Amino acid sequence: MRSTPEPTENEPVKRVLLAAPRGYCAGVDRAVVTVEKALELYGPPVYVRKQIVHNKHVVTTLEKRGAIFVDETEQVPEGATVVFSAHGVAPVVHEEAQALSLKTIDATCPLVTKVHREAVRFANEDYDILLIGHEGHEEVIGTSGEAPEHITLVDGPEDVANVTVRDPEKVVWLSQTTLSVDETLETVRLLRERFPAMQDPPSDDICYATQNRQLAVKQMAADCDLMIVVGSRNSSNSVRLVEVALEHGARAGHLVDYAEEIDESWLDGVATVGVTSGASVPEVLVRGVLDFLGERGYADVRPVVAAEESLVFSLPNEIRRDLKAAGMSDKMTHDGSFAASGSLH
């Protein structure tokens, strides 16, 4: 790291607190590499239903390489290859794909798949399932589609009063994986006041990466005059990081996709800038923000380490099989020519 120039009188000592962990989680990494590998193996075009992950840069980069993003299954030509996004899809989407004879690669994050399986299990046992999440989010739509007649969406603490169930003794809550931990706990507390017998999910539904990124922000927020979160506005976990920063003492917080979106007026009178990124953000975008700040005197970068992460998911079975048949690596790495083009991995 470059050293910070000596401040003049009345000028604050400038520094950056850099959150760790930040950026890609294992599920996002797996999904992005899945599309890259599919392009490498099958050649373009490869269709992707919805954004593979909620990040503008990732989507734009993959489009340039031959990925075609569509909103609905019916937009994919019959017999083509389609990748399902990391957020998961409802069973009806698999049925639509089968009707069009599509070659499907399911890049749903395994932690989202776990929530789907929980929903199916509790629906089979005739529970009312209270799904805590944001209305309209792709993950919520996918999970709800597993058992729509059993699932009621609870969109935050303010929605608890609207919930009705058939039998207060047979209720369980599940959640979207990318929520604010604190807000979810508050929602659960209020739900339990109404339904004391409500069961918890078998294991925590909010994913490890979401929790770790929020934990790092909590540890540094009170020391930050400004928190910059790198991430896209449709990324639930990125938006939550700004909210968590402000709730835990940051004087200001902003979400940006790129360094160029930083308004220099945000830095007026600012000594300490916190920097982190959402779970769908490649590290190159964080480096761009650090370079931007370094050029403006914030060259002293200090890591704030909240947790260590080592989890890696293997690629979806469908593409692993085809890669092996083609004599290509099915690991989370790239073969020569594609790697040289600059992977998002």
Whose CA is closest to 198, among 134, 122, 124?
Answer: 122
Give the C-alpha separation, 165 to 218, whole Å. 35
In the chain, the largest separation of any two C-alpha atoms, in whole Å, equals: 71
Annotated catalytic residue, options 139, 183, 193, 318: 139
Whose CA is closest to 272, among 345, 197, 235, 221?
Answer: 221
Residue labelled with tokens 């979810």: 184
Peptide bond between residue 45 and the one before it cis (omega within 30 degrees of 0): yes
Q: What is the CA radius of gyration of the chain?
A: 22
Residues across the chain: 345
Whose CA is closest to 31, among 344, 284, 321?
Answer: 344
> Measured between alpha carbons, how far is residue 226 from residues 46, 110, 130, 148, 249 in Å?
40, 34, 36, 42, 10
The answer to whether residues 2 and 294 touch, using CB atoms and an 8 Å cutoff, is: yes
Give the C-alpha separation, 136 to 115, whole Å. 17
Give the C-alpha separation, 298 to 108, whole Å. 39
Structure tokens, 211: 């929790």
Residue type, 343: S
Give the C-alpha separation, 316 to 31, whole Å. 9
What number of other Cβ atoms are within 10 A of residue 190's Cβ?
18
Whose CA is closest to 318, among 103, 73, 47?
Answer: 103
Q: What are phi and psi of 330, to 5 degrees?
A: -105, 20
260 tagged catalytic: no
Catalytic residues: 139
